[in-house]
Amino acid sequence: MSEAAQKDRVAIQVNGEPRSVSAGCSIAAMLGELGLDPRKVAVERNLEVVPRSTLGEVEVKDGDAFEIVHFVGGG
């Protein structure tokens, strides 16, 4: 990746793994980049739950740590 391209990216953690997404993007856009359907997941950002209604507004910041979860089989 060129230096210019890297400038446009922010480094984040998603489910414990390092990732990068476009600078200035919303959490909804980040989910899109990751290939996830926002209607099927819940997002925690730096240990705070992000309300579904604000996913399109909250901007992803450099160094953010996200947990993205969904429902799986369980007893």
Partner 1 sequence: MNAPQPVAADSWTVAGRTFTSRLIVGTGKYKSFEENAAAVEASGAEIVTVAVRRVNIADPKQPMLTDFIDPKKVTYLPNTAGCFTADEAIRTLRLAREAGGWSLVKLEVLGEARTLYPDMRETLKATEVLVKEGFEPMVYCVDDPIAARQLEEAGAVAIMPLGAPIGSGLGIQNRVTVRLIVEGAGVPVLVDAGVGTASDAAVAMELGCDGVLMNTAIAEAKDPVMMARAMKSAVEAGRLAYLAGRMGKRRYADPSSPLAGLI
* Binding residue (CB under 8 A) for partner 1 from 14, 27, 28, 60: 14
- With binding defined as CB under 8 A, does residue 47 bind partner 1? yes
Q: Hey, which residues between 51 and 70 contact partner 1 (CB under 8 A)?
A: 51-52, 67-70
Phi, psi of 19 (to 5 degrees): -145, 170
> Hey, what amino acid is at 63?
G
* Binding residue (CB under 8 A) for partner 1 from 23, 25, 29, 34: 34
CA 73 vs CA 37, 40, 68, 70: distances in Å? 19, 14, 16, 10
Q: Is 59 helix (H, G, I), strand (E, B) or coil?
A: strand
> Hey, what amino acid is at 61?
K
- With binding defined as CB under 8 A, does residue 20 bind partner 1? no
- With binding defined as CB under 8 A, does residue 3 bind partner 1? no
Total of residues contacting partner 1 (CB under 8 A) = 27
